[in-house]
Amino acid sequence: MASERDLFSTEIVNRGIESSGPNAGSLTFSVRVRRRLPDFLQSVNLKYVKLGYHYLINHGIYLFTIPVLLLVFSAEVGSLSKEELWKKLWEDARYDLATVLAFFGVFVFTLSVYFMSRPRPIYLIDFACYKPSDDLKVSREQFIELARKSGKFDEGSLEFQRRILMSSGIGDETYIPKAVIASSENCATMKEGRAEASMVMFGALDELFEKTRVRPKDVGVLVVNCSIFNPTPSLSAMIINHYKMRGNILSYNLGGMGCSAGIIAVDLARDVLQSNPNNYAVVVSTEMVGFNWYQGKERSMLIPNCFFRMGCSALLISNRRRDYSRAKYRLEHIVRTHKGADDRSFRCVYQEEDEQRLKGLKVSKDLIEIGGDALKANITTLGPLVLPFSEQLLFLATLVGRYLSGGKSAGNNASSSKKPYIPDYKLAFEHFCVHAASKTILDELQRNLELSEKNMEASTMTLHRFGNTSSSSIWYELSYLEAKERVRRGDRVWQLAFGSGFKCNSVVWRSMRRQKKPSRNPWLDCIDRYPVSLTQST
């Protein structure tokens, strides 16, 4: 078991020149102690490895019986000469028409059942990410200054938010509703929530319908996810009313499911499409920043103020086979992990009121550790589905060997601390879109999965440019990759998101063609400036 010391990391922070006091004019430094992600690849649970291989075992009958049948058939045919083979195929068969027809009928029936029972492929036709107007752009210094002028925070709260912002990895061009800090009134109202929802959702959907040339009335399934803001009528009803969608549309509204709900929404849309052939589904993922704004003094509830920013994504998904030629991506795998049965995981991100009855989102100090456990379970389940067989074999062999040696020599520290083989996920994916939660989490994920700066570039640059846009952040990251023209035909994209509950979800897409720079993209006006150095920007 890892010691308590292993769960923390230290960092020397330059505080600048002291302006007053006995040390005026001198450089000052402090040591920052942070919780880090547990080295979850050192403690992989065999239960999740078994769960991943369960998907493969379901198709084991095909993997084992087909080679045997081919072997038997080859042996039978190989023992015959050409004359004998021709005799069996033609001379014997022409006198037994019933046998030939029966064989042909069984073959056609088997082939029909196989193709009819296969799940329809799910295609991502296109997607859009909303880019707010420049008048909503706020730098970090402007954020603190406007917060001070609003009169909602004391000096201690302002200083705490300033320290978090400067080390967050967030840049100076993120977007915040003006009502949040420009007004002394309460901004967490239904009116302000609906105004923000209309702005971001309709903005993303207008762009999506324009890019895909699909009419709103052609959409048969609508899934909307927003964790904090859930009005009545629902957000999905707002969209249906605004675009005058058809009366038999299947609509769903997911609330309270955190930053990983975007993948849950895709999973739900996939399941609905499987039972409704030849249909379109639209998935909208967003979060209302203003409605979640906290105006009190509780430090753990001030953290979301520093990270969450405006954003929204809209996807058009299809199960129509004729959309194969124009689709951007094909859905390959979705793996969902939920740790809500554990009380600590359930309460690590919790909406409640503080002592002054002010509503906010409370973030536990154990979030990093809990997130690491969920990530460990998720990627261990995903591994058997995506990793090359050689990587799976090495990983499983060393993992089982480590458990066996640990069981035989309990108390042998050298055996129990032996490092297992770490699968190379770069062999399974060409592109990584990890939820842009914070710089600390992204750095720890990069270290644990042994990813390069290039692998993490889309995530870190999205955090810098747009901040944490909750469930839509993984789509801003894919937009970054497309704007850089890095996605080629056959490339696999891994989107990984995590959020309250505690949940960790993965979705894998395969590119259908080389993705050229799109005409509409939130990065187009600034992509030439990226990547930037986060060390300099913070």
Residue 128 pLDDT grade (very low, low, confident, very high; cuts 50, 70, 90) = very high
d(CA 522, CA 268): 26
What does the pLDDT average to over 290-317? 91
Residue 19 pLDDT grade (very low, low, confident, very high; cuts 50, 70, 90) = low
d(CA 22, CA 20): 7
Q: To the nearest whole percent, how much of the chain has pLDDT over 90? A: 51
Residue 293: predicted pLDDT = 86
What does the pLDDT average to over 327-348? 94
Mean pLDDT, the chain, integer? 82
Answer with the residue of higher pLDDT: 146 or 30: 146
Tell me which DSSP letter residue 35 carries.
E
What does the pLDDT average to over 278-304? 92
Residue 415: predicted pLDDT = 42
Residue 9: predicted pLDDT = 53
Residue 1: predicted pLDDT = 40
Tell me how crowded residue 43 is: count the other CB atoms within 10 A of its CB: 13
Question: Which residue, among 163, 166, 139, 144, has the nearest Cα to 154 in the 3D structure?
Answer: 144
d(CA 515, CA 328): 7
3-state secondary structure of 338: strand
Backbone φ and ψ of 33, nearest 5°: -105, 125
* Chain centre distance of CA 393: 27
pLDDT at 213 over 70: yes
Residue 409: predicted pLDDT = 42
Q: To the nearest whole percent, how much of the chain has pLDDT over 70? A: 74
d(CA 6, CA 315): 41
Residue 368 pLDDT grade (very low, low, confident, very high; cuts 50, 70, 90) = confident
Per-residue pLDDT reduced to its tens digit, 402-426: 667 764 444 444 444 455 566 788 9
Answer with the residue of higher pLDDT: 436 or 56: 436
Residue 72: predicted pLDDT = 62
Residues 194-217 as b or e (16 or more Cβ within 10 Å = b)? bebbebbbbbbbebbbebbebebe
Question: Which residue, among 147, 166, 142, has the nearest Cα to 157 in the 3D structure?
Answer: 147
pLDDT at 122 over 60: yes
Tell me how crowded residue 428 is: count the other CB atoms within 10 A of its CB: 17
Residue 365: predicted pLDDT = 86
Of the listed ranges 13-17, 82-86, 106-110, 185-189, the least confidently predicted one is: 13-17
Let me know: does 173 contact 139? Beta carbons within 8 Å.
yes
| Close Cβ partners of 95 (under 8 Å, ≥ 6 residues apart) | none
d(CA 458, CA 487): 12
Per-residue pLDDT reduced to its tens digit, 475-506: 999 999 999 999 999 999 999 999 998 999 99
d(CA 121, CA 330): 7
Let me know: does 29 contact 14? Beta carbons within 8 Å.
yes
How many C-alpha atoms does 346 have within 13 Å on its Cβ side?
Answer: 4
Residue 14: predicted pLDDT = 56
Residue 389: predicted pLDDT = 82
- Reading phi first (left if > 0) and then psi (alpha if -120 to 50, else beta), residue 25 is in left
Cα torsion through 85, 91, 96, 102, rounded to 10: 40
Of the listed ranges 136-140, 311-315, 396-400, the least confidently predicted one is: 396-400
Answer with the residue of higher pLDDT: 119 or 453: 453
Residue 430: predicted pLDDT = 95
Distance in Å from the first CA to the final CA of the chain: 35
Tell me which DSSP letter residue 504 carries.
E
Residue 115 pLDDT grade (very low, low, confident, very high; cuts 50, 70, 90) = low
Of the listed ranges 163-177, 300-314, 394-408, the least confidently predicted one is: 394-408
Q: Are strands 250-255 and 221-226 parallel, antiparallel or unpaired?
A: parallel
Residue 184 pLDDT grade (very low, low, confident, very high; cuts 50, 70, 90) = low
For the annotated catalytic residues, the residue numbers are 259, 338, 431, 435, 464, 468
Where is mean pLDDT largest: 10-14, 28-32, 74-78, 412-416? Answer: 74-78
What does the pLDDT average to over 153-167? 90
Rg of the chain on CA atoms, in Å: 27
Write down the pTM of the prediction: 0.81
| Close Cβ partners of 444 (under 8 Å, ≥ 6 residues apart) | 36, 37, 368, 372
- State both tokens at 127: 């997607």
- State both tokens at 99: 């046998």
- State both tokens at 251: 């609509």
Amino acid in the structure at residue 534: L
What does the pLDDT average to over 121-143? 94
Let me know: does 33 contact 42? Beta carbons within 8 Å.
no
pLDDT at 2 over 60: no
